[in-house]
Amino acid sequence: MNSYVPSSDIRAAFSRAMSLMYREEVPAYGALMDLVSRVNDQTLSSQAELRARLEATDGLDRISEERHGAIRLGKAEELSMMRRVFAIMGMFPVGYYDLSEAGVPVHSTAFRPVEGDALKQNPFRVFTSLLRLELISDEDLRLEAERILTDRKIFTEGATSLTEKAEKQGGLERCDADRFVIEVLETFRWHNKANISGDMYRRLHDAHRLIADVVSFQGPHINHLTPRTLDIDQVQALMPTYGIAPKAVIEGPPPRKCPILLRQTSFKALEEPVAFRDADHGWKTGWHTARFGEIEQRGIALTPKGRELYDRLLDQSRRIVRPAADGSNAKAYEAELSKVFEAFPDTWEEIRVQGLGYFSYSLTDKVNTAGTVVETDVDSLVADGFVQFDPITYEDFLPVSAAGIFHSNLGDSARQDFQVSPNQQRFEADLGAATLDEFEHYAQIERSSWNACLRWLKSVA
Ligand code: OOG
Ligand code: NI
């Protein structure tokens, strides 16, 4: 009998190792973690209802363990290898995000656990972008960047051979799994030496700051980690007292009684010293800005209809006030956003009845005492108190918010117009697999919760 380590355990160990490494590399992230856990504790002790709901659905334990990170890759073979590495940790590509529409020359997916149990054990996600050099108009520079990337290897030999071993055997034994975590972590490490000259860096940087971030280094350093907070407005407000400078506005929907999708904010990326190669094979000190810390608060997953309403309202408010990176119009933006979002229903019942969000259905105790239940349609079972519904948490990302996070760190000047050109087919060819459609996935969770209720009711009828 084999004794392979469950993929969720490898993922949890990896997430912990990454958090420790990042805390050491970016001390402000440690301060942010402390602030988040303090605010989470306070929120849970003052909001009994929220506490009860989290206990019943997400599991309270996962809150403080929860985080996502992000990396930016340079070429197709890096992306496909990353997919194989993440698969061993039980993380699979969900969603396709085109960021060219938001002026950033990448497209992305999120590797994450998919099944409910795996999410409960450890929901670690990595937002993974692939640079799109084809969107760079300067052809010389594009060829130059391609050439630089051709030679780079971002995985250690140990990571590669353990990945092959895991694929062949169908898992890793304990000591291999421990080694795997250590080896894979190397890919995410910061490099304070660039693999190019300061001149080349400047040319790449002038084309787009993100291109410089991807092409200049030996590996795709983790650029942020993001714990989950239960009260993002409070954390945002307290950041300065913890010595952290928050970005100007919180991305995503405004504060609401019934949280939807995802709200995010971050602290500004750090300016860090980096050594560039110079002409006489020596090193010359320069600077690079890439790494930051972020927080997120998650709400209900929306149906295509709900998402369409969300996108429309967000777009509408941004046409009136577009948030500036320097924070000069933050108050006006927040006020406008709240006003426009009054059009989005703010009770769970209304969100459910209008088909805007996904819910998990379950039977109440009443079914045990009420004798035979004859209804079979959702609305009357809910109305009569036989069935209850809990919002399904959104586990994915939002391209406009992602772009907002990119821009707050790159500066408004980094906003460029690229030809809007989603290319999911090309992305999936480079990835070597299809991405899971997140809407279908949430619909399926909802459906199976509902079917389980019906099965039980039929079995006692
Ligand atoms: C990715 C930004 C996307 C999020 O939370 O939306 C992201 C990046 O900056 O590389 O992490
Ligand atoms: Ni993020």
Q: Give the mean model confidence (pLDDT) for residues 307-320.
A: 94
Q: Is-contact 93 392, C-beta < 8 A?
A: no
Whether 9 shows a pLDDT value over 60: the answer reads yes
User: Which atom from ligand 1 is nearest to the alpha carbon of 69?
Assistant: 11
Q: Please tell me if the CB atom of residue 405 comes closer than 6 angstroms to any atom of ligand 1.
A: yes
* Pairing status of strand 283-289 against strand 271-277: antiparallel
CA 407 / ligand 2 centre spacing (Å) = 12
Residue of the nearest CA to atom 8 in ligand 1? 70
Q: Please tell me if the CB atom of residue 397 comes closer than 6 angstroms to any atom of ligand 1.
A: yes
CA 105 / ligand 2 centre spacing (Å) = 17
Q: Above pLDDT 70, what percent of the chain?
A: 96
Q: Give backbone dihedrals phi and psi of 295, rounded to 5 degrees, phi first.
A: -130, 155
Q: Rounded CA gap, 408 and 388, in Å?
A: 41
Q: Above pLDDT 90, what percent of the chain?
A: 72
Q: Give the mean model confidence (pLDDT) for residues 18-31.
A: 92
Task: Give the strand order in the sheet containing 125-131.
Answer: 92-98, 106-112, 125-131, 67-73, 224-227, 292-298, 262-267
Q: Please tell me if the CB atom of residue 129 comes closer than 6 angstroms to any atom of ligand 1.
A: yes
**Vertex 237: Cα angle to 234 and 238 (nearest 5):** 85
Q: Please tell me if the CB atom of residue 97 comes closer than 6 angstroms to any atom of ligand 1.
A: no
Q: Please tell me if the CB atom of residue 264 comes closer than 6 angstroms to any atom of ligand 1.
A: yes
Residue of the nearest CA to atom 3 in ligand 1? 402
**What is the band of 142 on the pLDDT scale with cuts at 50, 70, 90?**
very high
Whether 104 shows a pLDDT value over 90: the answer reads no
Q: Please tell me if the CB atom of residue 196 comes closer than 6 angstroms to any atom of ligand 1.
A: no
Tell me the two tokens of residue 370: 């009420």
Residue of the nearest CA to atom 2 in ligand 1? 402
Task: Give the number of the ligand closest to the Cα of residue 414.
Answer: 1
User: How confident is the model over 230-272, as pLDDT tens digits?
Assistant: 999 999 999 989 888 888 899 999 999 999 999 999 888 888 9
Q: Please tell me if the CB atom of residue 181 comes closer than 6 angstroms to any atom of ligand 1.
A: no
Tell me the two tokens of residue 72: 């930016």
At residue 376, the pLDDT reads 80
At residue 43, the pLDDT reads 92
Q: Please tell me if the CB atom of residue 401 comes closer than 6 angstroms to any atom of ligand 1.
A: yes
Q: Give the mean model confidence (pLDDT) for residues 87-96.
A: 98
CA 447 / ligand 1 centre spacing (Å) = 30
CA 421 / ligand 2 centre spacing (Å) = 22
Task: Give the number of the ligand closest to the Cα of residue 403.
Answer: 1
Task: Give the number of the ligand closest to the Cα of residue 106.
Answer: 1
Average pLDDT score, the chain? 91
User: How confident is the model over 358-415, as pLDDT tens digits?
Assistant: 999 999 998 888 777 777 888 999 999 999 999 999 999 998 888 888 777 666 555 5
Q: Please tell me if the CB atom of residue 223 comes closer than 6 angstroms to any atom of ligand 1.
A: yes
Residue 400: burial class (beta carbons within 10 Å; 0-12, 13-18, 19+): middle
Q: Give backbone dihedrals phi and psi of 246, rounded to 5 degrees, phi first.
A: -75, 155
At residue 58, the pLDDT reads 65
Task: Give the number of the ligand closest to the Cα of residue 410.
Answer: 1
In this structure, how many other beta carbons lie within 10 angstroms of the beta carbon of residue 425?
10
**What is the band of 328 on the pLDDT scale with cuts at 50, 70, 90?**
confident
Residue 103: burial class (beta carbons within 10 Å; 0-12, 13-18, 19+): middle
At residue 411, the pLDDT reads 61
Higher pLDDT, 182 or 412: 182
At residue 414, the pLDDT reads 53
Q: Please tell me if the CB atom of residue 337 comes closer than 6 angstroms to any atom of ligand 1.
A: no
CA 51 / ligand 1 centre spacing (Å) = 28
Long-range contacts of the stretch 429-432 (C-beta < 8 A, 24+): 429/76, 430/76, 430/79, 430/80, 430/130, 431/79, 431/80, 431/83, 431/93, 431/109, 432/79, 432/80, 432/83
At residue 416, the pLDDT reads 66
CA 141 / ligand 2 centre spacing (Å) = 29
Residue of the nearest CA to atom 9 in ligand 1? 406
Domains and CATH numbers, the chain: 7-299+398-418 (3.10.180.80)
User: Which atom from ligand 1 is nearest to the alpha carbon of 402?
Assistant: 6
Q: Give backbone dihedrals phi and psi of 445, rounded to 5 degrees, phi first.
A: -65, -45
Task: Give the number of the ligand closest to the Cα of residue 108.
Answer: 1
Nearest to 82 by CA among 105, 106, 109, 107: 109
Q: Rounded CA gap, 13 and 268, in Å?
A: 28
At residue 439, the pLDDT reads 97
Q: Please tell me if the CB atom of residue 402 comes closer than 6 angstroms to any atom of ligand 1.
A: yes
CA 354 / ligand 1 centre spacing (Å) = 31
Higher pLDDT, 411 or 35: 35
